Amino acid sequence: MKKILISMVVLFGLSVLGWQIYQKASASRTGYKRQRKMVPVAVEIAPLRKATIREVGRFTGSLYPFSQFTVAPKVGGRLEKILVDIGDVVKNGQLIAVLDDDEYRQQVYQAEAEVEVARANLQESRDILENTEREYRRIVALSKKKITSESELDAIEAKYKTQQSKLKVARAQLAQKEAALKMARVRLSYTQIRVPENNANNPRVVGERFVDEGAMLAPNHPIVSILDIETLTAVIYVIERDYPKIQLGLKARAVTDAFPGRTFTGRVTRIAPLLREKSREARVEIEIPNKQKLLKPGMFVRVEIEFRQHDDATLIPTEAIVKRNGTPGVFVADLKQKRARFVPVQLGIINAKDAEVLRPPLSGFVVTLGHHLLEDGAWIILPGEKPEASLKGKHSKPLRKKKNPSIVRRKI
């Protein structure tokens, strides 16, 4: 029984001691919060200004020629001559390579001879038909006078029809041989390899050369590639967030490492109607004039596209934007009262440096540094000021250190 009483006394004493410690800690935290509210925050400020702001999208991509194709022979043979090389300027219809044409010339000679034979056969058939026709008319006249027999009339009539059919066959054979001659001449012309004709009148250049003279080529074996670089196409890929902002005809500015400090302008000409499922990006093509031929296909480019522009907009530095309870806003600095007031704002265009404030109308200065420590109505210290000067006449009396009544001092 005595042990139980002792234990209860000890527990009671520990409880009282814990309660006193809790009260001391609470009082200490309360005093710290009161002091924190009274402590001003050193901040930096910047003025609001009126200016033009642009929303610009920045992308990367590559340059491609406006048109590109490979020149190849339609017939096989040994490459006898190649008349162009890398970088040479070529025009429509220009001769660029020649194949060995001995075999194809012999085919043309043979086809011409066959045409002459077919023409001779046709003339022979015509002559026979004319003789047969005269004989036929004579027999018909005699038959009307009852001088010749019916069998003789039938025989000459059958012979006349046969000669007419032979004449048609001779004509068809001549047409066939003439077509073969044309084909032989076309195949012979294929040994003269030229730049294809098209609607583009711009001079083009040889991009690559794939073979040398003396090589044996099969049909459709590439010889050179031809590029049109008077205008280049910059291909970029736009993410889903920026895709609705891209419109045909938007101005674009491109820069490349090959020409630092120089900007090339162009316009958006094509927008893909779909986004790739894996990357969620859409292909966008920008045509860039290249009259001086400084840009080359394959170069890496950085492209800026201006989506929209607002004139006379109210601008604040982007670092001035803060969020309180999920609402974007700014701390407006009251230079007279040395206080910061939180103002929720509706933002417009935002770029790397500035942000546009649509509502409400603002003027004066905003806090750009130190706002993470601010609350609405907090005291602030501006650069170059001393805390005492900023608080002079504005704070209540400083907090006095209270004696803790729980501490009993004893005189020794």
Per residue in 266-304, pLDDT tens? 999 999 999 999 999 999 999 999 999 999 999 999 999
How far is Cα 406 from Cα 402, in angstroms, rounded to an integer? 11
Whether residue 126 has pLDDT greater than 80: yes
The secondary element (H helix, E strand) that includes residue 144 is helix 102-144
pLDDT of residue 25: 61
The stretch 147-159 carries a mean pLDDT of 83
CA dist 37 to 328, 373, 380, 381, 399, Å? Answer: 23, 11, 11, 14, 12
Within 145-272, residue ranges assigned H as helices are 150-189
Whether residue 29 has pLDDT greater than 60: no
Residue (of 328, 404, 407, 311) closest to 366 by Cα position: 328
Whether residue 363 has pLDDT greater than 90: no
Structure token pair of residue 68? 């590109």
Residue 19 zone, left/alpha/beta (φ > 0; ψ -120 to 50; rest):
alpha
pLDDT of residue 41: 86
Kindly state the percentage of the chain with pLDDT values over 70: 83
**Which residues, at least 6 apart from 122, have a Cβ–Cβ distance to it below 8 Å?**
167, 170, 171, 173, 174
The stretch 9-23 carries a mean pLDDT of 66
pLDDT of residue 28: 55
Residue (of 361, 370, 281) closest to 314 by Cα position: 361
Tell me: the pLDDT tens digits for 218-258?
999 999 999 999 999 999 999 999 999 999 999 999 999 99
Structure token pair of residue 82? 């190649």
Whether residue 23 has pLDDT greater than 80: no
- Other C-beta atoms within 10 Å of 287: how many? 16
Sign of CA dihedral 361, 363, 367, 373: negative
Kindly state the percentage of the chain with pLDDT values over 90: 55
| Peptide bond just before 244 cis, omega within 30 deg | no
Residue (of 296, 299, 322) closest to 376 by Cα position: 322
pLDDT of residue 35: 46
Per-residue pLDDT band at 4 (split at 50, 70, 90): low
How far is Cα 103 from Cα 77, in angstroms, rounded to an integer? 9
- In the chain the domains, ranked by start, together with CATH numbers, are 39-53+312-391 (2.40.420.20), 77-96+194-222 (no CATH), 101-190 (1.10.287), 229-309 (2.40.30.170)
pLDDT of residue 370: 87
Q: Is this structure's pTM higher than 0.85?
A: no
Tell me: the pLDDT tens digits for 199-225?
667 789 999 999 999 999 999 999 999
